[in-house]
Amino acid sequence: MKSRSVAVTTTLQSAVVTGENVVAGYPGKIVWRGASFSLDRGELVAVIGPNGAGKTTLFRLLLGLQQPVSGAIKIFNEVPKRGNPLIGYVPQRHLIDSETNVECLELVHLAYCGHQWGFHLTAKVGRAAARRALEAVGATELASKSLNALSGGELQRIFLAEALVSDPDVLLLDEPLSSLDIRRTQELVQLIDRVVRTRKVTALLVAHDINPLLPYLNKVVYIANGKVATGTPKEVLTSERLSELYDTHVEVIHDSRGNVAIIGIEDHHGDE
Amino acid sequence: MQHAFEAGTLVAIVAGIVGYFVVLRRSSFAAHALSHIGFAGAAGAVLLGVSPILGLFAFTSVGGIGMTVLGPRASNRDVQIGTVLAFMLGLGVLFISLYTGYATEAYSILFGEILGISSVDVIVTAVAAIAILCATAFVYRPLLFASLDEDVAEAKGLHMHMLGIVFMLLVALATSIAVQVVGVLLIFSLMVTPAAIAQRLAKRPWHAVLISVIISLTATWVGLFVAFYEPYPVSFFITTFVFILYLLVRSIHPKLELMKTVSTFAKPIGQAQN
């Protein structure tokens, strides 16, 4: 009897992120509509599409920073609320620049306990958690280095550690690969995949180029032209599906190694 | 003289702590502008026969909130702030000219005149300092987090707007009491430069705050000691001390970085690279 009810709950709970006919944007300025999707635990999902299509908007909906215009979007079977510790977030832009002379451990530590008000005599627990997060991303030796002394690839590891420190069930990564060269991109993608598989988290990753991610992806969320297509890469990355999405003829070409090229679309530089 | 040391010490501690966040949030121009806005308040208070510090409190608080309301990070914010502060300075000049008392009042607001501070003002300073320290002890973690990684902090549920207002009020209060020591025009020397030096030297916020407080305390005490024997303004010595220290750190620090790089490459050939 007990194992049966556990089995039922597990099935219900395996869909971590669900959307039913979601319309995103603001009344008067719809960004995308008709989005229905179901993302399961432990899946690595790419969120792609042209600039300004509304990829960050999806993240803002899941973080509870924005409400859908209509439709139901759920995370962990509940309406998204602000400050959910089960979500780890790596935003697109960061304030870190050449003047930021703060050690990496401190940034990760703050992600763990920065929401706590009041005076704290000791930071031992938080710093230990921060060290574990840095270890998980292979950045232990960067702990006492200053943020402004890191390379782009190293910084992305620190931001990932920031997102992991609260032991989340969902990771939202907004363009973590943008400023990296091919080698660092591959390293980071492999790291993210390893983290996803060992911790069984659901990771949504916004990217411009899907090819580095293809070997590791479970699903794709393709946002373009005010519409959203979700499914496995094989289902979504077809000429038919994307032509339907873009309302114009789009050709999807696969090369001998499985890389994908999408021909026939303009990359709109919108304001996202 | 004893009052000057008491008030000066309190101001230096507060300025060292609040200054750390000012530099971290790249808000030094806003802090600078707040002191000028306060000038109009102080001059107006003198005109009304009230203690200048009350005018400072009132105008800097309102000014600080106004700046936050203008928007969190507008790119041409310095133009907006500069326009307002120029107007405020003009207002202050008008109030000063209307005041039929002594011009030394204006001088002390602009450049600080801590030696003549009254015991009442010391108590007011102490109360303000305690309020600032208590508030800082309560908000320092969220404020630090929001200052370093705004978007993640917001995603974790922190309210950026409210924290921005709290921060500005802390700066407004700290600036108001610091004006007594270094005046409106030299507020940088206590509120910004010590923290700027500290941030170059320390990677952990705790250490940086400590260094910042030590620098502003030393500068203030040196200024007070020298002014006791020489007939020159305290604020001049404070500003000069801090400036020289800043130049020293700027010139030595690149050399420290250079030494680190050299030592990495100069490892003995036999040693294995880890």
Question: Is B151 near chain A, with CB under 8 Å?
Answer: yes
Question: Is A103 near chain B, with CB under 8 Å?
Answer: yes
Cβ–Cβ gap B204/A83 under 8 Å: no
Residue B148 included in any domain: yes
| Encoded amino acid at A83, one letter | G
Task: Find out whether A76 and B104 touch, Cβ atoms under 8 Å.
Answer: no
* pTM, rounded to two decimals: 0.86
Q: pLDDT tens digits, residue range A80-106?
A: 999 898 999 999 888 788 888 999 999
Residue B11 included in any domain: yes
Residue A35: phi and psi, rounded to 5, are: -90, 120
The vertex-B129 CA angle with B128 and B132, nearest 5°, equals 85
- CATH number for the domain spanning B25: value is 1.10.3470.10
Q: pLDDT tens digits, residue range A242-262?
A: 999 998 999 999 988 888 998
Residue B237 included in any domain: no
pLDDT of residue A159: 95
Question: Is A140 near chain B, with CB under 8 Å?
Answer: no
Split at pLDDT 50, 70, 90, the class of B101 is low
Question: Is B250 near chain A, with CB under 8 Å?
Answer: no
Shortest distance, CA A86 to any CA of chain B (angstroms): 10
pLDDT of residue A118: 87
**DSSP track, A43-96:** -EEEEE-STTSSHHHHHHHHTTSS--SEEEEEETTB---TT-TTEEEE-S----
Residue A170: phi and psi, rounded to 5, are: -130, 135
Query: What is the token pair recorded at A27?
Result: 């009344």
Question: Is B154 near chain A, with CB under 8 Å?
Answer: yes
Comparing CB atoms, the residue among B138, B148, B157 nearest residue A95 is B148
Cβ–Cβ gap B139/A117 under 8 Å: yes
Nearest CA in chain B to A82: B157
Query: Residue A231 pairs with which residues in a beta bridge?
Result: A220
Which range (A22-31, B79-88, B265-274) has the least confidence? B265-274
Which range (A86-90, A171-175, B252-256) has the least confidence? B252-256
Task: Assess whether pLDDT exceeds 80 at residue B72.
Answer: no
Query: What is the token pair recorded at A31?
Result: 């960004």
Question: Is B260 near chain A, with CB under 8 Å?
Answer: no
What count of Cα atoms within 13 Å lies in the side-chain half-sphere of residue A136? 25
Q: pLDDT tens digits, residue range A2-37?
A: 444 444 444 455 789 999 999 999 888 999 998 999
Question: Is B152 near chain A, with CB under 8 Å?
Answer: yes
Residue B232 included in any domain: no
C-alpha span between B58 and B62 (Å, rounded): 6
Query: Residue A219 pairs with which residues in a beta bridge?
Result: A45
- Domain layout of chain A by residue ranges: 94-167
| Tokens 């320092």 sit on residue | B140
Question: Is B212 near chain A, with CB under 8 Å?
Answer: no
A226 torsion bin: left (phi>0), alpha (psi -120 to 50), beta (else):
left
Task: Assess whether pLDDT exceeds 80 at residue B70.
Answer: no
Q: pLDDT tens digits, residue range B206-249?
A: 999 999 999 999 999 999 999 888 888 888 899 999 999 999 99
C-alpha span between B221 and B206 (Å, rounded): 23
pLDDT of residue B192: 94
Query: How many structural domains comprise chain B?
Result: 1
Comparing CB atoms, the residue among A102, A120, A144 nearest residue B205 is A102
Structural domain of B25: 2-186
Task: Find out whether A200 and A41 touch, Cβ atoms under 8 Å.
Answer: yes
Cβ–Cβ gap B148/A87 under 8 Å: no
A1: exposed, middle or buried (Cβ count in 10 Å: 0-12, 13-18, 19+): exposed
pLDDT of residue B114: 82
Cβ–Cβ gap A93/B148 under 8 Å: no
Cβ–Cβ gap A118/B156 under 8 Å: no
Task: Find out whether A198 and A190 touch, Cβ atoms under 8 Å.
Answer: no
Nearest CA in chain B to A89: B152
pLDDT of residue B241: 94
Residue B256 included in any domain: no
